[in-house]
Structure 1
Amino acid sequence: MTLQKKATVVSSSVAAVLTLIKLVIGIASGSVAVLASAIDSILDMFVSIFNYFAISNSEKPADKTFNYGRGKIEALASVIEGTIITISGLYLLYEAVNKAINGEVSKYLDISIYVMIISLVITISLVAYLNNIAKKTNSMVIKADALHYKTDVFSNLAVLSSLLLVSFTGYEIIDVFVGGGIALYIIYSAYELIRDGVLVLLDRAVDEEIVSKIKEIIKDNKRVNTYHLLKTREAGHQTFVEVHLVFDCIITLMEAHKASDSIENKIKKLDNKRDWIINIHMDPYDDFKINDLNH
């Protein structure tokens, strides 16, 4: 089992445990903030399970049906996860408004406080673990999962603060405001996940810093006269690079191929965590205008 899959199994298991604890206490206590945290944990669990299958499919090699592999499944998972988070945030906002209107009173505050302290410690540990895996694998799904649980850390802190304040002051409106605030924060946090996933699905180019380094590698090769039609994109753990290199017309195919291999190897060393798919087209003269018109 890969590191990415192990990470989703761990996060799913943790979310399941937190869901059970928070849901029982949230329903029993009547606290909007605790219930908000419980519902968020339910979504965490299902999203992590979904991520496991997304990673499993994205890791499958290219075949006759999917010539470029299934790397974009990770981006699709990120969009779906962000959408689910947004919907959960809207529901929690509704619950907060509903409690404010009906004037419901929270119960079992002491138990709720202990539950949120335990939840906070567990969630912080999980975020640290997921961030470590994300750095090692550069997986968009794991990064999304880590970000998702990071929002849980802040929401758990907010819920804990809310419960303490309600316990000391008796003002239920604090629970309403905190629950509503968490809902808005959850909706806001989902934007980045959806945006990044959509940009990958639209074949956005890789970071400008990496593109600049690729250009420098090409320019530094003395065999290459010029280049054109440099294109880059990402899909999961794969980074695709396409470029036309222009050589002297008298150069041998062997020499041009060696120069291309040298450039390709240097590009791959820019980031060893990436799975580079590089396609170099060798031109005997600069046919940029012709190619540009055809594209």
Structure 2
Amino acid sequence: MTPQKKATIISSSVAAILTLIKLVLGVLSGSVAVLASAIDSILDMFVSIFNYFAILNSEKPADKNFNYGRGKIEALALVIEGTIITISGLFLLYQAIKKAILNETSQYLDISIYVMIVSLIITIILVLYLNYVAKKTNSMVIKADALHYKTDVLSNIAVLVSLVLVQFTNIEIFDVIIGVCIAFYIIYCSFELIKKGILVLLDASLDSNLVLKIEDIIKNSDRVNAYHLLKTREVSNQTFVEVHLVFDCLITLMEAHKISDKIEREIKVLDKDRDWIINIHMDPYDDFLINDCKI
């Protein structure tokens, strides 16, 4: 089993346990903040399960029908995950406003505080583990899962503060205010996930600094007169680079091939954690203007 799959199974299991505990307490206590955290954990569980199947399919090798593999499933998972999180944020906002209007009160605050402390500790451990796996595999889905649970850490802290304030002041508006803040924060974080997924689906180029480093490698290579049509994109843990290199027309194919291989090796050293897929087209003259290329 790959580290990515193992990570999604662990995060799903943790989310399931936290969901059960928080949901029971949220209903019994009447706390919007606790209920908000419970609903968020429910979504965490389903998102982690969905991520498992996304990774399962994205790891399938390229075949006759999917020549470039199924890596974009992970980007699609980000968009779906972000959308689900947005909906959860809107629901939490509704619950907070509803409590404010109906003047509902919170109960079972003592046990709720203890549960949220335990939940916070468990979530922090999970985030540290997911960050480790994300760094090791460069998986977009695991990175998104880690970011998602980071928001849970902040949410749990906010809920804990809310419960403590209500416990010692008996002022329910603290629960409402913190519930609204959590809702807006969740919606904000979900926007980043959706944006990242859409950019990958649209084949956005790599970070500009990384592209500049690739260009420097090409420019400093011996016997490369020029280059054009440099294209980059990333899908899942794969990073694609395409470029046309212009050599002197008298160079042998063997020499041009050796220089191209050297350029590939130097590019791959830029980030050894990436799975680089580099395609270099060798030109005997600069046909960029002839083909009326605009890139």
TM-score (norm 2): 0.98
1:134 and 2:137 aligned: no
Identity of aligned residues (%): 76
User: Which residue of structure 1 lines up, in the alignment, with residue 205 of structure 2?
Assistant: 205
Deviation per CA, 1:140-168, whole angstroms, max 9, x where unpaired? 11111011000111110111111111111
User: Which residue of structure 2 lines up, in the alignment, with residue 2 of structure 1?
Assistant: 2
User: Which residue of structure 2 lines up, in the alignment, with residue 292 of structure 1?
Assistant: 292
1:56 and 2:63 aligned: no
Aligned equivalents of 1:246, 1:229: Cα separation in 2: 11
User: Which residue of structure 2 lines up, in the alignment, with residue 97 of structure 1?
Assistant: 97
- 1:277 aligned counterpart, secondary structure: strand
Alignment of 1:31-42 (within 5 A): 31-42=31-42
What's the offset of the Cα at 1:48?
A: 0.4
Alignment of 1:106-255 (within 5 A): 106-255=106-255
User: Which residue of structure 2 lines up, in the alignment, with residue 273 of structure 1?
Assistant: 273
- 2:116 aligned counterpart, secondary structure: helix
1:86 and 2:86 aligned: yes
Comparing 28-37 and 204-213, the one that deviates more: 204-213
Deviation per CA, 1:38-88, whole angstroms, max 9, x where unpaired? 000000000000001111111111111111111111111111111100000
Aligned equivalents of 2:292, 2:242: Cα separation in 1: 14
Letter in 2 for 1:134: A
What's the offset of the Cα at 1:105?
A: 1.1
Aligned equivalents of 1:162, 1:14: Cα separation in 2: 23
Aligned equivalents of 2:291, 2:14: Cα separation in 1: 53
Structure 1 runs not aligned, ≥5 long: none
How many residue pairs are counted as aligned between the two chains? 295
Moved over 4 A (4+): none
- 1:142 aligned counterpart, secondary structure: helix
Aligned equivalents of 2:114, 2:274: Cα separation in 1: 43
- 2:292 aligned counterpart, secondary structure: helix
Deviation per CA, 1:195-246, whole angstroms, max 9, x where unpaired? 1111111111001111111111111211211111100001111111110000
What's the offset of the Cα at 1:180?
A: 1.2
Alignment of 1:61-80 (within 5 A): 61-80=61-80
Aligned equivalents of 2:117, 2:184: Cα separation in 1: 22
Letter in 2 for 1:197: G
- 2:157 aligned counterpart, secondary structure: helix
Deviation per CA, 1:225-273, whole angstroms, max 9, x where unpaired? 1111100001111111110000111111111111111111111121111
What's the offset of the Cα at 1:291?
A: 3.0
Structure 2 runs not aligned, ≥5 long: none
Letter in 2 for 1:133: V
* Residues 265/197 of structure 1: CA separation in 2 closer, same or farther (3 Å cut): same
RMSD over equivalenced CA pairs, Å:
1.1
* Residues 42/4 of structure 1: CA separation in 2 closer, same or farther (3 Å cut): same
- 2:290 aligned counterpart, secondary structure: helix
Aligned equivalents of 1:252, 1:184: Cα separation in 2: 62
Aligned equivalents of 1:181, 1:264: Cα separation in 2: 48
What's the offset of the Cα at 1:132?
A: 1.0
Comparing 284-293 and 140-149, the one that deviates more: 284-293
- 1:289 aligned counterpart, secondary structure: coil
Letter in 1 for 2:239: T
